[in-house]
Copies of this chain bind each other. A is one copy, B any other.
Amino acid sequence: MSARQVTLAEVAKQAGVSLATASRVLNGSTRQVSGDLSDRVLRTAEELGYVPNASAQALARNSSSLVGLVVHDITDPYFSCIAAGVTRVAEAAGLVVVLGTTGRRPEREVELLSTLRAHRARAVVLAGSRTTDRASQARLAAEIEAFSEQGGRVACVSQAKLGTDTVVPGNRAGGRALARALAELGHKRFAVLGGPTELVVARDRLAGFKAGLADAGIAPPVVVHGSFTRDGGYEAALELLASKSRATCVFAATDVMAMGAMAALRERGVRVPEDMSIAGFDDIPTLRDTVPALSTVRLPLERMGEIAAGLVLDGGGDEARTVRVAGEVVLRASTAHN
């Protein structure tokens, strides 16, 4: 085993041309090479099974073909959908996606960014929601700064203010529209299963929802906070139930939380939507097929991943660009008239 890798030099020698020529033929260049030599090189490369050493290329060109993708948890459909979008675009561009998972720890995000910088990644998409914690914000900003100084581009999904390209879903507007739609169903008393208080996305959705209720002249909702996970939703729902709230409709800040919440309600004998309506946010594909199908605010998740990857790969100007994507309220069976 370990028959050492075929190098460009071997191909060149075998084909009877110089290293330079072989390189020009095999790895593209502005320079022309006569068809004759070109053929010969191509043929020998093929015969020898030559594969260029990406590290060497990266070193020589001072730029790699790596694109970073940082998510909190790849099993979360929200992230896996975005990941699908990002990988599709990146692979189409002949790039390679490096997946980093933070487990929702902000410091991991910084570490990953630094690793990506070490690899001279061409670009990185930060899909994780940002926190409002000052210290980690600052460290992250510093890493992002370092990363761009080194020539890499950074795009964030769902959080602007970092001076990077950003894909911003209409969290606030979506929450607001959803609240209005639910109000139209006749609900008067609402509860919200909010995400962690320090998460910007959670805050925006909550703020939007409250605004929507206010628009409809409805009293502010009871708010219970929990983490952005199935279990977070489950716990929050139990807490809500324990609080003897009289809400007839509950809004979970994400579909995944809504899923957990529905499980909790079911366990406690609360029927959805007869006893309690419930709506989520994101529209993750799986929950369209469940019973009852979940009302939610649809976000084009894969599209968002594609857009983020597009922003980060198209060279882009020097200005930070922001692409807004709207959420669309989709009422399904989990919310009933009241």
A residues with CB within 8 A of B: 1-3, 5, 49, 51-56, 58-59, 64, 66, 69, 73-75, 77, 80-81, 83-84, 87-88, 91, 96-101, 114-115, 117-120, 146, 148-151, 230, 259-260, 262-263, 266, 285-286, 289-291, 302, 318
| Least Cβ–Cβ distance between A184 and chain B, in angstroms | 26
Stoichiometry (number of copies): 2
Query: Is there contact, CB below 8 Å, between A98 and B101?
Result: no
Query: Is there contact, CB below 8 Å, between A101 and B96?
Result: no
A119–B318 alpha-carbon span in the complex (Å): 30
Query: Is there contact, CB below 8 Å, between B101 and A99?
Result: no
Q: Count chain B CB atoms within 10 A of each CB in A3, A64, A84, A285 and give the residue with the most.
A: A84
Q: What B residues does A260 contact at CB under 8 A?
A: 289
Q: Which residue of B lies closest to A103 (CB)?
A: B88
Q: What B residues does A88 contact at CB under 8 A?
A: 101
Q: What B residues does A64 contact at CB under 8 A?
A: 55
Find A74's partner among B53, B80, B119 (CB 8 Å cutoff): B80
| Least Cβ–Cβ distance between A93 and chain B, in angstroms | 13
Known: A3-B149, A96-B98. 10 other contacts (CB 8 A): A2-B151, A54-B120, A55-B55, A56-B59, A73-B84, A74-B74, A74-B83, A75-B77, A97-B98, A259-B286
Query: Is there contact, CB below 8 Å, between A1 and B148?
Result: yes
Query: Is there contact, CB below 8 Å, between B289 and A230?
Result: yes
Find A101's partner among B87, B100, B285 (CB 8 Å cutoff): B87
A100–B75 alpha-carbon span in the complex (Å): 16
Q: What are 24 A-to-B residue pairs whose CB atoms are below 8 Å? A: A1-B148, A1-B149, A3-B149, A51-B117, A51-B118, A53-B59, A53-B120, A54-B120, A56-B59, A74-B74, A75-B83, A75-B84, A80-B80, A87-B99, A91-B100, A96-B100, A96-B115, A97-B98, A99-B99, A230-B285, A230-B289, A259-B289, A262-B289, A263-B289
Q: What B residues does A91 contact at CB under 8 A?
A: 100-101
Q: Which residue of B lies closest to A290 (CB)?
A: B290
Q: What B residues does A3 contact at CB under 8 A?
A: 149
Given known A55-B59, A97-B99, A118-B51, contact A75–B149 (CB-CB < 8 A): no
Q: Which residue of B lies closest to A96 (CB)?
A: B98
A91–B75 alpha-carbon span in the complex (Å): 16
| Least Cβ–Cβ distance between A90 and chain B, in angstroms | 9
Q: What B residues does A262 contact at CB under 8 A?
A: 289
Q: What B residues does A96 contact at CB under 8 A?
A: 98, 100, 115, 119
Given known A75-B77, A151-B2, contact A51–B83 (CB-CB < 8 A): no
Q: Which residue of B lies closest to A88 (CB)?
A: B101
Q: What B residues does A230 contact at CB under 8 A?
A: 285, 289
A100–B115 alpha-carbon span in the complex (Å): 19
Given known A64-B55, A259-B289, contact A100–B97 (CB-CB < 8 A): yes
Find A81's partner among B1, B75, B101, B286 (CB 8 Å cutoff): B75
